[in-house]
Structure 1
Amino acid sequence: MTNTLTWRVTWAMTATVALFVGLMAVLALSILSKQEDELADQLVQIEMRRLIDRIEHGEIDTLQQPIEIGPRTQAWVGTKGAGASMPAELRDLSGGPHEFESGERVLHAIIAESSVGHLTVVVDATQNEKRVRQFGLIMLVLWCLCVAAGYWLARFTAGIVVGRMHAVTQRIAEWDPDTVQSSQLRATSSDEAGRLLEAFNRMQDRVDRSIAREREFAGNLSHEVRTPLAALRTDIEMASLDEHVSPEQHLRFSRMAKAIDEVGATISAARAISRPRATSKPPAFDLGELIDDVRTTLGARAEAAGLRMSSAVPRGHLLRADRYALLIVLRNVIGNAIDHAAPAALHIRLDGQHLLIADDGPGIDKADLPFVFERYHHGRRVDQAGDDDALVSEHGLGLAIARRVCEQQGWLISVASETSGEQRGTRFHIVFDENST
């Protein structure tokens, strides 16, 4: 059962009712049992006094024993222990009142010396004890009914008391800053739930304004920077075509163009991360074509680094997801392999909702593996020669961006890596949601 505030209040109130009613039932049963015992003892004493009076007046023949006083009362007159008709349990009892069991019967007896001799009076109190047991059974049934009624009453009361808190909890649990927010819950009371709701609304406003400013900044930055970057890259390409450009200058122009492309990709990634998650289902796109586009775009870098890329995803395989988001993820994951796994072979394949990007490079050390998705984390890979001083990441943002995009889209990205053996290399796993395939 869910351990919520509603259930805790319900069980606390139910336990209180059960304890209170149980104590009352035990107390009532104890009082009734004591009263029945006292009543039986009083009856024995009364019958003894009446018996003495009747014997003194000659109304009873003491030679006929036991003396039947009533339907449940008997008496014996004579020396202690005398009389073959006297039950064995009575013969060794001392003077005074007694209570004992004889078979299935419960007897109350009084033994005393009187003016007529040694006198023993016994009253059968079995019916009294049965009434006590019946009353105890009734109390048990009433206790169960009261606990059941208390439980449902506690649930109803807890629903009223905690209902507003539950509404606030549901709202907070369903709140997602990456989606377009619905109207706020209105605080209709000044109690704790109302004040908590007002505090949540204020916090939501601040977060929404902060996200809106972030998205506006990312949009403005993308708009303002892309135009001069495009012009700058065009000028670099035109300058590199000049026949008087030396090989060293041509290399510098190539590096400048590459740097401009990296800046553009970073801006695109920042804008993609900051934009709200689409509420409607994205259109399907050709996954094989997207992978081929990424391989073509990164082909020059991969070839220069010695990374051989291959894909088992054929063209025509449709995937219903955000194409641009997956493009960013693949570019960063494959770009990470180019920078840190090469020279190696990288293979991409799809198994249902599971996309695997695996290389047979040097792998990632186990101590650094849990942190590869952290921003600005500088881990180390172990190369084939055993040199473990090469930094894995120069900037530490590519895989962090990939994970952020996956989280925004509801995908799951994970990594596994080995530095030796048959499984040597790094494997990135991307699991899409159920509606993607």
Structure 2
Amino acid sequence: MTLRRRVMLAMVALVALFTAIQGSLAVLSMHDQEDDLVDDLVLAETRRLASRVTQDGTDILDDDIHTLLPDDYQAWWVGPDGRAIPAPLPKSLEKLPSGPHIDSAEGGEYHIMIMPVAGGHLFVRYNAARNEDKVQLFALHVFLLALVVIVLAAWIAHYLAGLLIAPLEKVAQLLDHWAPASEPGAISAQDEEQRVLDAFERVQVRWEHGLARERERFADIHHEIRTPLAALRTDLEMLQMLDQRRPGPAAPPGSDAAFGPRLQRAMSTVDAIAGALESMHSLQTGRNASVENVPLSVCVADAWASLGELPTARALTLSNEVDAQACALVDRQALMAILRNLFRNAAEHAAPAILLVRFEDGQILVSDNGPGIPAQDMPFVFERYYRGRLADTSEPRPADSSNEYERGLGLAIARQVAEANGWRLTVGDAHPKGTQFRLSF
């Protein structure tokens, strides 16, 4: 059964239930009103007849009973000695006390009134068959009206169900077109709900397969990059050893022979790339990275050195005020990834400026005295591909700026790495000017 038909049947069932309840209440109310009205009529006739009997005597019941009462009425007077006028009292009335009664013993419905009159009791009985027929006719009319209402409700429910299910049918059609059944010739379910569920299941399977392929591709890239990086670092270490063993006076700064610091910076860069790969691999696979007691001042210096010539080219100066004894039990590669992205962001957007790094109350504070972040951009700086300050500036883009940071990925990656390790990275204004990032462990 389709969802449209189930909705239609549910609406018709509700209307039918409501109509049945209302019709039943109307018939019961009509029946009660009919009984009350007949009782009032019988009481009025009994009082009128009792007045005549009291005035003219009980003999009038024997002589002129048919002219004294309307059609469908009967009357008896029973004296103290049990004598009944004008005829013997029916057995069903003999033991009834004074007052109104309803008797259905003789196949019909009779309304009875018993009243003390002239030393005896006056019995008046009315045959309410015609009134009951009218009540039954009313019930038949209510039933026919209920059928008409239910049929009309079914037609309206069919139309309304189509309106309600139309969006779901469109979704089912779009999903069928987007994620068709993998088996050729497969017949789609007729139920809209089942079609949507089947399509979502196919989309989920496709998404899981795509995610698995992405993970395999990332694992392959990770494997392929680690091997040449290790070889490159080994070669750099050998070159550094040869440079240290070379005899003769030290080469003047800037000469081709003064490449010892460059070798050290190249090794730091290789280590930074390897660390970033490990951090991203941890995020991709969801495994917990190894933590260690890390000297924070050394991490700050290494992260700064990994940027190479970028800070100098942008006129960004580092002021590392982290205590040399300050340590934290953290994943070093993750911390390095966050610091590199924060330093790179300062070089890209805050320079020329001074970058101040401190460690206070279990938090690393990275502050600059640059132009700061506009208030309207502050809530969005950690969103991927958001680059409000860079996009709004009228200054030309630096030629050596990387596409990754121009696209607004640096701070998003930093926030993602922090959250993956259970840390908290926030941003605010520095005083008297500039921007301050807080990394809480």
Tell me the TM-score normalised to structure 1 length.
Answer: 0.49
Larger radius of gyration: 2
- The two structures have a TM-score, normalised by structure 2, of 0.49
Identify, as 1 or 2, the structure richer in helix: 2
